[in-house]
Amino acid sequence: MTPPPPARSLRSGLRALRPAAFGADPSGERLARIHRSPHFVRGAFRNPEETRTRPSGSARGFAKVYFDKEQRVLRAPRGPIPVHRDTAARLSRPPESGLRITWMGHSSVLAEIDGHRVLFDPVWGERCSPFAFAGPKRLHPLPLPLAALGEVDAVVISHDHYDHLDMPTIKALAGTDTVFAVPLGVGAHLERWGVRPDRLRELDWTESTRIGGLTLTATPARHFCGRGLRNRQHTLWASWVVEGDRHRAYHSGDTGYFEGFREIGAAHGPFDVTMIQIGAYSEFWMDIHMLPSQGVRAHLDLQGGRPHGVLLPIHWGTFNLAPHAWAEPGEWTADAAEEAAQPVALPRPGEPFEPAGDLPVDPWWRAVSPPVVRSWRGTGPAPARAARPEAPAPRLAGDTGASGTG
């Protein structure tokens, strides 16, 4: 009779069978550093405020909303999304003001800041999923190939969900000279995918690193993590501040509304531009994604409570992740920003703009979307997570956190 293999060999074998897209668990000194973090409590990273990371309500109630036939029709465009086609030519010329922003779709943004280039949450894959044959599929083509971006000084990752951390994209960037700035624990995934340890800057909240002439700071967010079948909460999530010689930018990653926006603004603001998550919200998980009105409120908090700089709405338009109407985040954000007298940029995917110049404000989505019912008008930017649009409430969206998307 052959004796059973040692437990360590069995665990090693199971790890070898783990799909590469699941990444890797932190270990060694990386895990020890996680355990020393003041934000790692009783075996898991904790949010800055009490947060429910699993859907509230019943599974039956959510299924009734999510699979409603009439609403499903509204969750995708009814024609090709108009993608900007002159992106490469525009990016070949330096920005006149020193600051240029290019939204590539969802949360992927190229920020050119004072002579340096930062790429946030790059997702060039066709699906935000660990599998090539299943999962949310891209609704519009890429504005340009990844190689056409040219040199990038820093790649910044907000957290390890599939719609923010894309293995094929990271593998393609691993062979370049770029530096990767990531929250604690996320570096384990990148190392498995070929990123050298010396190209990693792994930060806890409030920690900063210098990359070229830029200072990058990981700041708190209200979300969660996880890519595999088990979510051990051993990788941190973050928003990010990027400061150059003349300009400052903020990227929210994924987050629910929380009081910490005011603290981040007081410490690092005001900002020339903020990139704020306003899509994939839901009445079933209000703690971990913001409504568009809350996104505008968050921007104002970051700016000291007054309209300032430019708000770029992100985390919408590219993937169908939730039950709200596809175009609703754009419409709602435009209305909430107008009520607050806050300048907002509404570019097509791939359309560069300079916050100091003329802003793209054309509601381009209306050409490929059924009319969106505006039941939120007159409610103003909601300052608290308890805020709800007045009846009749629009269909809201959700975070598919169980599959690592959100």
Q: What is the pLDDT of residues 13-68, one digit of tens each?
A: 445 557 899 999 999 999 999 999 999 999 999 999 888 777 666 666 666 666 66
Residue 288 has pLDDT above 50, yes or no: yes
pTM of the complete model: 0.89
Residue 275 has pLDDT above 90, yes or no: yes
More confident residue, 186 or 54: 186
Residue 343 has pLDDT above 70, yes or no: yes
- Please, which pLDDT band fits residue 396 given cuts at 50, 70 and 90? very low
Residue 205 has pLDDT above 50, yes or no: yes
Residue 246 has pLDDT above 60, yes or no: yes
Please tell me what DSSP assigns to residue 107: T
Strand partners, 181: 156, 201
More confident residue, 246 or 397: 246
Cα–Cα distance, 51 to 13 (Å, whole number): 36
Residue 341 has pLDDT above 90, yes or no: yes
Rounded to the nearest 5°, which phi and psi values hold at 324?
-80, 160
Residue position matching structure tokens 């490469």: 88
Task: Give the pLDDT confidence score for residue 14 in this predicted structure.
Answer: 46
As a whole number, mean pLDDT of residues 385-395 equals 34
Task: Give the pLDDT confidence score for residue 114 in this predicted structure.
Answer: 98
Q: What is the mean pLDDT of the chain?
A: 88
As a whole number, mean pLDDT of residues 363-370 equals 95
**Which of 51-65, 218-232, 340-354 has the highest average model confidence (pLDDT)?**
340-354
Task: Give the pLDDT confidence score for residue 3 in this predicted structure.
Answer: 52
Task: Give the pLDDT confidence score for residue 53 in this predicted structure.
Answer: 75
Residue 390 has pLDDT above 60, yes or no: no
Task: Give the pLDDT confidence score for residue 392 in this predicted structure.
Answer: 31
Task: Give the pLDDT confidence score for residue 124 in this predicted structure.
Answer: 97
Cα–Cα distance, 247 to 21 (Å, whole number): 35
List the 108-113 sheet strands across, edge first: 200-203, 179-183, 154-156, 116-120, 108-113, 99-105, 352-353
Task: Give the pLDDT confidence score for residue 398 in this predicted structure.
Answer: 31
Q: Which long-range contacts (C-beta less than 8 Å, at least 24 apart) are formed by 87-94? A: 87/143, 87/144, 87/148, 87/350, 87/351, 87/352, 88/144, 88/148, 90/352, 91/149, 91/150, 91/352, 92/150
Task: Give the pLDDT confidence score for residue 403 in this predicted structure.
Answer: 40
Task: Give the pLDDT confidence score for residue 286 in this predicted structure.
Answer: 85
Task: Give the pLDDT confidence score for residue 292 in this predicted structure.
Answer: 97
The 10 Å Cβ neighbour count of residue 210 is: 9
Q: What is the pLDDT of residues 88-139, one digit of tens each?
A: 999 999 999 999 999 999 999 999 999 999 999 999 999 999 998 988 999 9
More confident residue, 50 or 209: 209
Three-state SS for 70?
helix
CA–chain centroid gap for 167, Å, is: 15
Helices (H), 147-276: 167-174, 187-192, 260-268
Task: Give the pLDDT confidence score for residue 55 in this predicted structure.
Answer: 66
| CA–CA distances in Å: residue 118 to residues 29, 153, 189, 246 | 28, 6, 20, 15
Task: Give the pLDDT confidence score for residue 316 in this predicted structure.
Answer: 97
Q: What is the pLDDT of residues 304-328, one digit of tens each?
A: 999 999 999 999 999 999 889 999 9
As a whole number, mean pLDDT of residues 192-220 equals 97
- Provide, rounded to the nearest whole percent, the portion of the chain with pLDDT above 90: 73
- Please, which pLDDT band fits residue 74 given cuts at 50, 70 and 90? confident
Residue 302 has pLDDT above 60, yes or no: yes
